[in-house]
Structure 1
Amino acid sequence: MNKANFEQDLQQQLSAMTREKQPERDLWAGIELALVNNPEQISKDKSKTKVYALVAAVALIGLVSLMSFNSAQTPLKGSDLVASLSAQHQQQKQALLVQFKDQPALTNNWQEQVTELDKAELAIKAALKNEPNNMALLKLLQNVYQQQISLIERVHSPKWSQI
């Protein structure tokens, strides 16, 4: 079918259509009856609509909260987890060193031991670059961090001095 024939057929079909569509029965009587005789039902419908709107708003808020809570607690993996562990450890280590800076250490070589643990940390991080999700390496790194923290605490505040 070419464009000219299509346009002609369309125009013929449009002109053949009736302009108004009449309902099969008179609708005004029912509309008037509903408006005049039943204002209580309209009021009830409005209150139901308000309740439904309130329930929908609460459900929407709950859904958004749940989605944001789930996205906020996505577990870290790989290099992100290593970076997070390292940052947390550095903060904890610095806080302890500041806390104990005025207290004398019980041994003189404790900083050498911390340095050895730092070397172990670097070796584990190098291995984690090749296998970022290796749980054994991650636990080993966490263990090294805990050893450093324990060493700093033990050197500066021995258990026998605490009551």
Structure 2
Amino acid sequence: MVPLPPPAPVGCSRRAFLAASAGLALLAAGCTSGSPDAPAVSTEEADRLAEQVTVQEAVVAAYAAATTADPALALSDLAAQATDQLDRLRAAAPSSTSSPAASSSAAPAAPPGGDVRTWLREQVAGAAVSHAAACARQTGARAALLGSIAAGLRGHEAALA
């Protein structure tokens, strides 16, 4: 008796599926990026984002104040992350006219002789709450940015505990 050929595969191969998925992703990206029908940022949204720049400036200033008040605290990594977050917020809100000089007066001074770590954790937690609340009133990439920064600050809060 002659052996039968193996049955033909049902459906599509994994390679064909991946190729089709990649093609669809490229098509979708090409259709949506830079769309002239995308809603413009409202003045209200821009103003709220600029307010969050001020909130993040206060966080950066709080890290500087905490480091000055207690140089033994190892905060350089967290402070650098907070500064990076501020840079990303400023880039997303180009109408923001905040300056580094303004950020130095945005946060209250760390308590002299007090628990600097707890004070800083409270400053960071307040900023995280503010960013999360503002996230709900933004759209698109601005909402994602604020949500990401809020989550990052929650991580800072946990690291400071």
TM-score normalised to the size of structure 1?
0.31
* Bigger Cα Rg: 1
Larger helix share, 1 or 2:
1
TM-score by length of 2: 0.32
